[in-house]
Structure 1
Amino acid sequence: MNTGLRITTFAAALAATFGAAYGVGQGVGPVVADSPPKHADEHTPPAPEPEKGQGHAGHGTPPAGGLQISEGGYTLDLETPRVTAGERADLRFTVRDAGGRALTAYQREHDKELHLIVASRDLVTYRHLHPTRAADGTWSTPLDLPRAGGYRVFADFTPAKTGAENLTLGADLAASGPYEARRLPPASTTARVDGYEVKLSGALRPGEANELELKVSRHGEPVTDLQPYLGAYGHLVALRSGDLAYLHVHPNGEPGDGTTRPGPDISFTATAPSSGAYRLFLDFKHDGEVRTAAFTVRAGEAAAGPDTPEGHAEDGHGH
């Protein structure tokens, strides 16, 4: 597996409630806690200026993009404007080409044709979903958002045609209901979820590729038998606070390559597009269940400092 980084920059929150579809592949990925942080001393910084372009990069400053709902000749078509907070809905969307035709052929990447992320604007609620695709190209997945407010939906995929590049298209989603603003959780190098502890070391640096290492333990003992999830022992997504720039980071090594061990350490190489606060979401699988550990970090600052644990999974359902 190549170490990779895909970045997509996003805007604010609008629209999508969705009805059902049937099709190929299934699954709902990890769920992160949305309970309000007890320490709210971290303010969301102003959104950085968006940069044009997008794609993979391993060194230097990766190009940022994804404010567009359309890019590279493809459009993310959301079918309804909103969902209701606290109520289960079927999220439906279609990826369309420049001629308006539904895309029905995708390259499989990390065991899936398309990866769907839903995150709240305050980066407290996070969903990694695996929708199903009907024969007509319509994707659908169950979605239950706990709080009212603005969310960002983004689809990460590569069309199945020669020379096609990976794209992450973004669109806004609104969850209706009583709204309560939340602050970004405070910076921390430790996250705890369901009896597991994940410690982060390394630094996220603007314009510079750098290693991030996450060490997983359970009840004080190192976990050395992590299970593959999406073709790796860990799956890391980083979102920039303010504009929700999206960094999809792949691990260094893969199961079965002869050198990568199944824990306790999971290593990634990442490049931040700018300084500022980021939210990191690590998905890992153990004992047959996927869990998510969440961290707040600041690009340009070493991953060290106050050890305030946070980032437990919401309820573990749907993995």
Structure 2
Amino acid sequence: MKATVLALLLGLLLVAPAYADTASAGGDVHVAQTLGSRELTVTLRRVTGVPGPLHVDVLTHAGSPAGTLRLSVSGPGTSATSSVTLGARPGSYGGDLRVDATGRWELAVDDGQRVARIPFVVSAQPISPPEQAVYLGFLVAGVCVLAAIVVATRSRRSWWAMIPVSGAVAGIAVAITGAVLSTTLPLPPQPGTQVDADSANTSDQYKLSQPLVGDYSRQPANMSLAPTSVATQRTVDVALALTDGATGRPVDDLIAHDSALIHLIVIGPSGQMWHLHPIRVAPGVFSFPLTLPAAGHYAVSAELARIGGGVQLVRSSTGIDAVGDSVGGTEVPPSDVHVTVPDFTAGQPGTIVAHVGSAADLQPWLGMLGHLIAVGPLGAGGAQAAPVWVHAHSMGGDMTGMAMAAGSMSGLMPVNGDSAPDETVAAYGPDVAFTYTFPLPGDYQAWIQVERSYRVETIPLTVHVAAAPVVGSGKHVVTARLVDTGTVELDVTPSAGATVTVQAVMPTTGYASGEVPAVATDPGKFRVTGLPLMMPGQWEIVTTVKDSSGVDDHVSPVTVTG
């Protein structure tokens, strides 16, 4: 009997432990800031323990002057100060601070004239209830095993050892159950992105708050500018105020979206474009410097994201008028940049490709390889009256198949709290592609922006979009199945004489691929391979069927797992 008990105990000790997945504490936070004459990227590195260090990197771009920035943090714990000395060469310069409590903090970046105030959240490493059950189960199992060994070796009645053995088995059963559940348990609402951060949810995200809600979205924001009339050729600090559309209160719950709190676009009367990142100076109040070279009207829009809500595009109803003498002209693109613009038709996707230089030396800017800004169709009212404002992104190559992985950011997007490559990585390009569906015919003014050698280059271009031909709506039934990453099988009825193309769209990131032709495999059956589904998440497979009866678009939601 003792031999049986000892053999069972040895088996329990040799059982491979089941490890639980731990929810990510979040990655680094990148925030672009237009601080005076400097265009900076401020990176707050992940805080791995509280109390612990907070490392701050400040990345400068070409033309940024040398100097010293004073850093300070304030929040629920002890305030701390430090400084960063910026060199004349563009690059990354770091400083260290210390945080000693969880909660909502604020980083102040002071250049001696202006102070940028960046909110951030420090959270404790969350441990889910199933993961706690894993630790408790193995603890109980370990104690019971030791007790069983003592009882089995010293007691005259060896069957008594079965009591702690039963406890050990129960403990391991609880631990294994917890490990299995921990892989499927959804994360709680994330403080600072889905809900407001407070002392409770940043110390334990799994504490349930009452009442429980499933909709964390916020109301639209309104934007006002001051002043709205300025003199040309003079630098003016423009104040931007955000208020809640439902309450009128200041909007002070912005989160970093595409590496900035606000992406501000200013369009001038002669084809100039500014892509700025205002600094937060007070709750709901931001500021940015602006020097307007020519007299005329300047249209302004802001792209932002609030806690719990999606991205909002807020356009200024007033814009800014400049009065005075005019100097300068339109921007001239670098000589080694060549842009290919297809023949666009309204309502149909097309891909613009910029070939930048000849080497793979582009750097990610604002989390993406390239940015496309466009306004139109342009009429008498210019950009202020244009119904369509575009801010599209590129991840690399031609975006029409898996071949785009060469020189692109495919496979390098952040998952599970990891951080994406930052601007210090110059390894992408030289092709930068943007796929977009212009909804209205007409002429659009557009600009492509990329970064290389720490310099943001702006490439102006004009896009003409033809009117869509009048066709009758088809009568096709489409079923799409994702059979493998990048491979889609389609059932199309009727299919005689039909041309079928497929496009991949990820609504949460604003990414859209080019159209990929589908190949007929059998009557009514089509197959697409090489569809660039480059990251896990919710995707839409957009199938377009064209034949003599008309054109049909069918959208099929799919989930891509890692």
User: Is it true that 1:165 corresponds to 2:310 in the alignment?
Assistant: yes
User: Is it true that 1:131 corresponds to 2:267 in the alignment?
Assistant: no
Cα gap change, 1:281/1:178 in structure 2, threshold over 3 Å: closer, same or farther? same
Q: Note if contact 1:119-1:151 (Cα within 8 Å) is conserved in structure 2.
A: yes
The corresponding residue for 1:236 is 372
Cα RMSD over matched residues? 2.8
Question: In the alignment, residue 266 of structure 1 is paired with which amino acid?
Answer: V
What is the aligned length?
A: 222
Q: CA deviation at 1:148?
A: 0.7
Q: Note if contact 2:368-2:395 (Cα within 8 Å) is conserved in structure 1.
A: no
Match runs of 1:116-265 below 5 Å: 116-122=264-270, 124-161=271-308, 164-171=309-316, 172-178=319-325, 193-217=333-357, 222-240=358-376, 241-242=378-379, 243-244=385-386, 245-252=388-395, 255=409, 257=411, 262-265=428-431
Inter-partner Cα distance in structure 2 for 1:197 and 1:21? 36
Deviations 1:85-139 (A, max 9, x none): 11100011111102221111113221111100000244x1111111101232211
Inter-partner Cα distance in structure 1 for 2:312 and 2:269? 21
TM-score by length of 2: 0.37
**Alignment partner for residue 24 of structure 1, among 101, 106, 117?**
117
Question: In the alignment, residue 355 of structure 2 is paired with which amino acid?
Answer: K
**Alignment partner for residue 276 of structure 1, among 411, 433, 442?**
442
The corresponding residue for 1:63 is none
Among all aligned residue pairs of Structure 1 and Structure 2, give the percentage whose two residues are the same amino acid. Answer: 27
Cα gap change, 1:88/1:258 in structure 2, threshold over 3 Å: closer, same or farther? closer
Q: Note if contact 1:203-1:211 (Cα within 8 Å) is conserved in structure 2.
A: no
Inter-partner Cα distance in structure 1 for 2:277 and 2:258? 11
Deviations 1:14-47 (A, max 9, x none): xxxxxx963236xxxxxxxxxxxxxxxxxxxxxx
TM-score by length of 1: 0.63
Deviations 1:232-286 (A, max 9, x none): 1111111112233311112245636259971111111111121111111011111
Inter-partner Cα distance in structure 2 for 1:203 and 1:142? 38
Q: CA deviation at 1:287?
A: 0.8
- The structure whose Rg is larger is 2
Inter-partner Cα distance in structure 2 for 1:94 and 1:133? 10
Q: Which 4+ runs in 1 deviate beyond 4 A?
A: 258-261
Deviations 1:208-228 (A, max 9, x none): 2222211112xxxx1311011
**Alignment partner for residue 262 of structure 2, among 109, 114, 119?**
114
Inter-partner Cα distance in structure 2 for 1:226 and 1:208? 29
Inter-partner Cα distance in structure 2 for 1:179 and 1:215? 33
Q: CA deviation at 1:192?
A: 5.4
Q: Secondary structure at the match of 1:112?
A: coil
Q: Secondary structure at the match of 2:345?
A: coil
Cα gap change, 1:121/1:167 in structure 2, threshold over 3 Å: closer, same or farther? farther
Q: CA deviation at 1:81?
A: 2.4
Q: Note if contact 2:339-2:352 (Cα within 8 Å) is conserved in structure 1.
A: no
Q: Secondary structure at the match of 1:117?
A: strand
Q: Note if contact 1:205-1:299 (Cα within 8 Å) is conserved in structure 2.
A: yes
